[in-house]
Structure 1
Amino acid sequence: MAEWQGPNAGLVVLQLIDSPIWLNSSYHWSAVLAELQYRCGMTTLAQKNAEQALQKAPTENIKKMLRNRLEKYSL
């Protein structure tokens, strides 16, 4: 949705779905929120979610990948 209609539309979809608890507590969820929020200009929220994603990431390789992906938005 975010690629088709824009990041705001992607965030709306994420807000409307009834996601399971395990997904909400995963690094995937926080990383997706952070990226879409950065793309929408919601820098404060995006930084919070990016930090959560990095804290939840299970390995150093995943943390590195997340940093590389999200740093292009946080500049």
Structure 2
Amino acid sequence: MNATREETDAMPGTVSMRASATWFLDQDTLPRHESAKLYHRDLKAFAEHLIPKVEQLARGPAQGRRARAGGHGRSW
């Protein structure tokens, strides 16, 4: 994550986001405000991109199995 990233770049992968977060947390001093602001923007965009995919996976085949078995959507 850096200040030279273009807005049109594709969403970074999980490995690059993990590496970026590790780098950020390993710093001995706080980054400059602009760097932190850009990092926040990138992390927020990644989370907004990832959360719907995780929710979709959570709704995946298990809900279909419960529906076919006549369940009410709860597994407990």
Q: Structure 2-normalised TM-score? A: 0.34
Decide which structure has greater helix share: 1
Higher relative contact order (Cα pairs below 8 Å, separated by 6+ residues) = 2
TM-score w.r.t. the length of structure 1 is 0.34
